[in-house]
Structure 1
Amino acid sequence: MMHLLDLRGQATTRAELLALVPRAQVDPASAAKSAASLIDEVRVRGSAALLDQAERFDGIRPESLRVSSEDIAAAVAALDPGVRTALEAAIERVREGSRAQVPGPTVTVVADGAEVRQRFVPVSRVGLYVPGGKAVYPSSVVMNVVPAQVAGVGSIALVSPPQKAFGGSVHPVVLGAAGLLGIDEVYAIGGAGAIGALAYGVPDLGLDPVDVITGPGNVFVAAAKRLVAGRVGIDSEAGPTEILVLADRSADPRLVAHDLISQAEHDELAAAILVTDSEELADAVQAALPGLVAATAAAGRVEIALTGVQSAVVLVDDLGAGAAFSNAYGPEHLELVTADPEATLELIENAGAVFVGESSPVSLGDYLAGSNHVLPTGGASRFSSALGAHTFLRSQQVVKYDRPALHEVADRIVTLAEAEGLPAHGEAVAARFS
């Protein structure tokens, strides 16, 4: 079912591995022109443009773009008890995981009377995007809202596409999750226009601009985030989901197949990759897939994802070579299913989140691990991190010198200022002692 990439017996450089890794053909730049147009419409026409875009892309014109507090409260009351219990458990676990990401203040004394303090200050206001589309994502509400709250953000706006099935409002389970977290500023807007609305504000809607925008979305959302980055902070340009399973002969092929399918059900462009040094495991997983795919609810899109160019079974000589391939790929989700997964972990450098051992599947991280499931995709884990409390914090350096401490370094400051051709810098210091 999945195409085979056999790297056994090949000595590949990092550059060659980067060229070999399978990728979905998704480029936010291809949607940039359309996204820019939609953002400009919102900047010029405000809520009228958002209503037109909802009608055009979501098939309905909402009666109100802002969801009322009463509707949010009603959605909380209407939550299925089992769903509510699961969401509350996820909230508590993600809250615990996020608390560990908030660094404490530090003071560095560089000399007598001379100190540099580090303090971490939350941004004032954030905008959180929760996608619609093929699935419902109350878990994304949890993953975006909780770390912002833990960081101390005082103002949070949540946007999600209007749902035709619910009269143009946000999906009620998404609303219910927002209500559980105390979020009362929710807008039924989606796509690139929603990103523009968060970045620039919509005065006639009472939507103030935000400082940071987070949350996954389609290629137009990713393109819009790229366009507004710099005006606001963004978490990442989320692309289609990815799972890479690094396994040896000790792995259960049926469980590996289930895990590949679990991410493939997200989207036809989802990437599912098995990297193994066991040809027997590779064959057994391939043999298990057709029956398991046929039995799953989203069989159509799972099959397309697994047979796409972005998915593959990769055969390598050993786990060291497998780890090198994984590091070049930089997966969003990495599962280590080996005889000694902790030892394998020591070989790993790049991954959005790592799931160690058979009892730590990616599905656990999607909901209740306590980690965050908003993760870098498309190889971005080589230079970026998962969403967390740190996403909403800024490090500030606070400098405090007393007069003797400044006097001790005054001559050196003057010397360096003159060497750089900036004598007024030195004069500003010397003036304090003249």
Structure 2
Amino acid sequence: MSERLKITKLSSAQADFDRQLDALLAWDSVSDSAVNQVVEQVLVRVRDEGDAALVDYSNRFDRRDVASMAELEIGPERLQQALDNIGEAEREALRRAAERIRDYHEHQRQDSWHYEEADGTRLGQQVRPMDRVGIYVPGGKASYPSSVLMNALPASVAGVAEIIMVVPAPGGELNELVLAAAALAGVDRVFTLGGAQAVAALAYGTETVPRVDKIVGPGNIYVATAKRAVFGQVGIDMIAGPSEILVVCDGQTDPDWVAMDLFSQAEHDEDAQAILVTPDSGYIDRIKASIERLLPTMERADIIRRSLERRAALIQVQDLAQAVELINRIAPEHLELSVADPEALLPKIRHAGAIFMGRYTAEALGDYCAGPNHVLPTSGTARFSSPLGVYDFQKRSSVIQFSARGASELGRVASTLARGEGLTAHACSAEYRIQADESSNS
């Protein structure tokens, strides 16, 4: 008989609850000095040596045996071949998911706008897509065609001219669903590169890999550290930590459903975090029983077990009002409101990456085909960050056009403020446009 699972159980009534919760939530995915040193070396070498460094790192880190970058690029014909050759059910699932993701993100598209004041002054904003972006798709422990769709389709909807994808291929193994998703999402070029070297290639460009304007997509600690290091050279979406789920339940949802929802994030990796919050102490015991019974049936049971024992928690609160306070404190990546009236709680929730409403809305649907993006802020960053979207691939320019009358009138305001700051040239520049008789200007 296997050893019983040890999951942290907490109560908001405990004297040391705050301290224990803070310890449970603590996470810094890019603080390891050894990792930083390796990443810095990789970035410098790829920047200085280009393709040669990429070939060498691919052979060393990904167990490849290639002589040139030509062997690390996958052409469009190969992508289309993957889409054509996968099973009909898989192809239809990818198409249905892509359709829903594209439709949702079409609603996010922002257009240029302007307005005109009474004196003819025109103010506005010009919205334009980025020229070229890079998407990092994880490989290794698992392959994620859903990540291809979630990263590439918003860029496509935004109107990005060229989408470059990098994906690790350890031992040269390629995932056909990932390639098929790239074909379906309109990815322009694909390189089988991973790790910090892939981030460096996208940030600096090499003889073969074009430099991009922004890098999006999750990866391991080396990828996250590299993205942080190149920020400023290029844009990035976020520094992604381990996957998280917070389920708030009133005790009336089938405990097997909730246990499996917790598993759905725990199976990502050992650092993933799954938390249940409920006012029903008896429900915690029922969830624990479901977890014990269902865990042995999971293919990734060992990963789930380690994740649950290291970072999971079953938390009892006084009521749902206190549960909402905990939600806003934790700011979870994924939040399930598995309660009778989720609409009553929604207006009170200030911090969450994605909110799944009601007992039937499994977070797993959001990972694949609901429509909203599954690239979400983690580690409490939902306090100031948002899901990946079309707006991440658009940039905005302010448009300002003064009439003669407007320039004369506002010139006096600018002059006063500029002289107050001691910036005489600013003041004079504005004053040159001031007319003696403003009423004669139009």
TM class by shorter chain equals: over 0.9
Displacement of 1:342 after TM fit?
1.1
* Partner secondary structure for residue 28 of structure 1: coil
Separation in 2, partners of 1:24, 1:132:
26
Distance 1:214 1:240, change over 3 A: same
Is contact 2:411-2:434 (8 Å) kept? no
TM-score, with length taken from structure 1: 0.94
Displacement of 1:280 after TM fit?
1.1
Displacement of 1:328 after TM fit?
1.2
Separation in 1, partners of 2:290, 2:50:
52
The question of 1:181 aligning with 2:212 is answered no
For 1:370, the equivalent position in structure 2 comes to 371
Is contact 2:101-2:372 (8 Å) kept? yes
For 2:215, the equivalent position in structure 1 comes to 213
AA in 1 matched with 2:357: V
**After the TM superposition, which residues 124-203 of structure 1 pair with which residues of structure 2 at under 5 Å, given as runs?**
124-164=131-171, 168=172, 170-203=174-207
For 2:324, the equivalent position in structure 1 comes to 323
Match for 2:74 among 56, 64, 67? 67
Distance 1:22 1:108, change over 3 A: farther
* Partner secondary structure for residue 193 of structure 1: helix
AA in 2 matched with 1:103: Q
Distance 1:10 1:101, change over 3 A: farther
For 2:392, the equivalent position in structure 1 comes to 391
Separation in 2, partners of 1:183, 1:259:
31
TM-score, with length taken from structure 2: 0.92
The question of 1:112 aligning with 2:119 is answered yes
For 1:55, the equivalent position in structure 2 comes to 59
For 1:294, the equivalent position in structure 2 comes to 296
Separation in 2, partners of 1:110, 1:28:
49
Task: State the Cα RMSD in Å.
Answer: 1.8
Distance 1:425 1:239, change over 3 A: same
* Partner secondary structure for residue 226 of structure 2: helix
Which structure has more relative contact order (CA 8 Å, sep 6+)? It is: 1
* Partner secondary structure for residue 360 of structure 1: coil
Separation in 2, partners of 1:197, 1:183:
17
The question of 1:29 aligning with 2:36 is answered no
Separation in 2, partners of 1:10, 1:24:
19
Match for 1:283 among 282, 285, 294? 285
The question of 1:46 aligning with 2:53 is answered no
* Partner secondary structure for residue 244 of structure 1: strand
Displacement of 1:21 after TM fit?
5.8
Displacement of 1:11 after TM fit?
10
Q: Percent identity, aligned pairs only? A: 41
Distance 1:82 1:21, change over 3 A: farther
Separation in 2, partners of 1:347, 1:266:
29
Displacement of 1:25 after TM fit?
4.6
Deviations 1:295-335 (A, max 9, x none): 01111111111111x21111111111111112111111100
Match for 1:263 among 262, 265, 281? 265
Deviations 1:251-290 (A, max 9, x none): 2211100100111111111111001111011110001101
Deviations 1:363-383 (A, max 9, x none): 000011011111111111111
Is contact 1:338-1:344 (8 Å) kept? no
Gaps of 5+ in 1: none
Gaps of 5+ in 2: 436-442
Displacement of 1:241 after TM fit?
0.5
Deviations 1:129-175 (A, max 9, x none): 000021110110000000001111001100000232xxx26422211
Distance 1:146 1:101, change over 3 A: same
* Partner secondary structure for residue 396 of structure 1: strand
* Partner secondary structure for residue 166 of structure 2: strand
Match for 1:81 among 85, 88, 111? 88
For 2:13, the equivalent position in structure 1 comes to 8
AA in 1 matched with 2:215: I
The question of 1:356 aligning with 2:357 is answered yes
Displacement of 1:405 after TM fit?
1.2
